[in-house]
Amino acid sequence: MKKRAVFLDRDGTLNKDVGYPNSFAAIEVYPYSFDAIRKINRSGLLTVVVTNQSGIGRGLIEEKNLQDIHQQMRNLFLRNNARLDGIYYCPHYIASMDPQYRKDCSCRKPNPGMAIKAAEELNISLKNSYMVGDKIEDIQFGLNIEATPILLLTGHGYKALRNLSEEGIQPAFVAQDLLEAADWILENDKKLSSSE
């Protein structure tokens, strides 16, 4: 049977959005993120981070530094009894000086590439999954993969909220932060299973 996942944006969702952090020391995980991820872990849903990291294509951070940041983030969550099941990133930038990253790619959110890859590698049913993020492109990504999209008001969330109607798109829920989103997901899941 296919698994279901909560896809998670990184910056402004799990940790403060500080632009293009180039070391783990620059990552400030929101204190409630551990609790939120732990709750999702217990529910049986996978936690899969999907993050646009054009800082690589822009030459602001090296790919191996990004991988190191992600390994250290996973370890930090594990030390707090919370597990990130997958982390996918898009390193591309359409105007990159480096040809290996210069690409109008299918993995930059809102394009669905990262979710499609995760679905293959982790055996996920996308339409029965969730997407949580703080930008319009996160909500559009959720809609593109036919998952249930949730907008957070952390990070760039208020700006996204103001622009939603202009873009003509609607999340299933607007949450104050990741913890409220996790609680909503678990409640929503309970309703789904009791209505079956």
CB of 133 to Zn ion, least distance (A): 16
> What does 9 bind: Zn ion, Mg ion, none (CB cut-off 5 to 8 Å by kind)?
Mg ion
User: With contact defined as beta carbons under 8 Å apart, do 80 and 97 qualify?
Assistant: no
CB of 82 to Zn ion, least distance (A): 27
Burial (CB < 10 A; 0-12, 13-18, 19+), residue 134, is buried
CB of 192 to Mg ion, least distance (A): 27
By CB under 5 A, name the binding residues for Mg ion.
Answer: 9, 11-12, 134, 155
How far apart, in whole angstroms, are the C-alpha atoms of residue 146 and residue 85? 21
Cβ proximity to Mg ion: between 12 and 21 the closer is 12
Q: For Zn ion, which stretch binds (CB under 5 A), given 97-105, 124-132, 152-160, 181-189?
A: 97-105
- To the query of whether residue 189 is one of the catalytic residues in this protein, the response is no
Residue 109 binds Zn ion (CB under 5 A): no
- To the query of whether residue 9 is one of the catalytic residues in this protein, the response is yes
Q: Which residues contact 165 (CB under 8 A, 6 or more apart)?
A: none
Determine the Cα angle at 22 with ends 72 and 106, to 5°. 90
Active-site amino acid positions: 9, 11
